[in-house]
Amino acid sequence: MTARTQPARPQPSAIEGLDRLELGSLPVGSDSGRRLRKAWTAVWPKLLAIALILVIWQIVHLTGWKSYVLKGPGAVLSDLWHQMQHGLLWQAIGITLRRAVMGYALALVIGSIVGVLVARIPLLRAGVGSIITGLQTMPSIVWFPVGIVLFGLSTATILFVMVLGAAPSIANGLMTGVDYTPPLLLRAGQTMGLRGFALYRYLILPASLPAYVAGMKQGWAFAWRSLMAGELLVLILGQPSLGVLLNNNQNLQDFAGVTSIMIVILVIGILVDMVFNKIDAFIRRRRGLLNPGTAG
């Protein structure tokens, strides 16, 4: 058997038996070259996919199908580049993202509080548990009429709909996590003397974190959709959001402009999703739940 570098062990005599063999499989350490290669293997399939999409898009454009609406990638990308030179796009992105953060933060707070309360209190759970699941499947856009009556054509209406779209998923994720806390760990916590608040703080909440994050991720998807729907329905004067730009470009029959804004919306969605995936992978790696093949 070849010698392997192993972590420093102050009392090597203590770790014997088959323990010693098992330890050999511990990760040894990483050098920057390998990290770079790893990053490349994660990136190149994505670049390839983008290139493929551009090629197909160009081919469709060349066939001339609905050419009035469907602009080619060249026209759209140059329009996008052009818009990026102007403050308006960035102002719109700023306003939209501010709403996204506000609405999502609100949904996070409300969803978490509701989730903990429902998980904690059996009576609430019996009454409200299935309603929350039902709300989750309801398209949040149906809340707009109510929102407009309550708050008028304002940012509050958009936030209202975002919260109703996202909070049920977040609450549901947390409730699922609490339910799936391994019974063995609960028994261990009980014998340790963890009770009441401490039991939640040190055992149940950390144990439910993976399901909670999954719920947060799903909640973000709902919040982002609700926000886009809201910005198309609730146009507020003097607040150029991405929805407003989309609407304006449509009214001006500028379909290259419409497509550029759609690309911006898609890219923001992808970037936020990547952040959630990173958080998820981090949590899973710390708990030894990450398969080597599913990383990235």
Partner 1 sequence: MSVTHWQKTPPEQDPGASALSRPGLASADEIAVSLTDVSKVYGRGNSALLALDKVSLTAGRGEFVCLIGASGCGKSTLLSLVAGLDEPTAGTIATPGGRVTLMFQEPALFPWLTASRNVELALRARGVPRSQRADRVAELLETVHLGGFGDKRPHELSGGMRQRVALARALAQDADVLLMDEPFGALDAMTRDLLHDELERICSGRTLTVLFVTHNVREAVRLGDRVIVLSSRPGRVIEEYQVPRRGPRRIDSVEVAELASQITDRLREEMSRHDS
User: What is the binding site for partner 1 (CB under 8 A)?
Assistant: 7-11, 14-19, 22-23, 26, 184-185, 187-188, 190-194, 198, 202-203, 206-207, 209, 283, 286-289
Contacts of 224 (CB under 8 A, 6+ apart): 100, 268, 269, 272
| Residue 290 buriedness (CB in 10 A; 0-12 / 13-18 / 19+) | middle
Nearer to partner 1, 231 or 280 (CB): 280
**Smallest distance, Å, CB 43 to partner 1?**
28
Token pair in block for residue 6: 């192993």
Least distance CB 11 / partner 1 (angstroms): 5
Minimal distance, residue 183 CB to partner 1, in Å: 10
| Cα separation, 283 vs 271, whole angstroms | 19
- For residue 143, give every residue at least 6 positions away whose Cβ sits within 8 Å of its Cβ, in sequence order, or none: 160, 161, 164, 165
Q: Which is nearer to partner 1, 41 or 190 (CB)?
A: 190
Which among 166, 164, 194 is positioned nearest to 181, based on CA atoms? 194
165 vs 177 by CB, closer to partner 1: 177
CB of 16 to partner 1, least distance (A): 6
Rounded CA separation 99/57 (Å): 32
In whole angstroms, the minimum distance from the beta carbon of 159 to partner 1 comes to: 33
Q: Which lies closer to partner 1 via its Cβ, residue 87 or residue 183? A: 183
* Between 101 and 289, CB nearer to partner 1: 289
CB 49, min distance to partner 1, A: 33
Our CB check for partner 1 shows the closer of 120 and 201 to be: 201
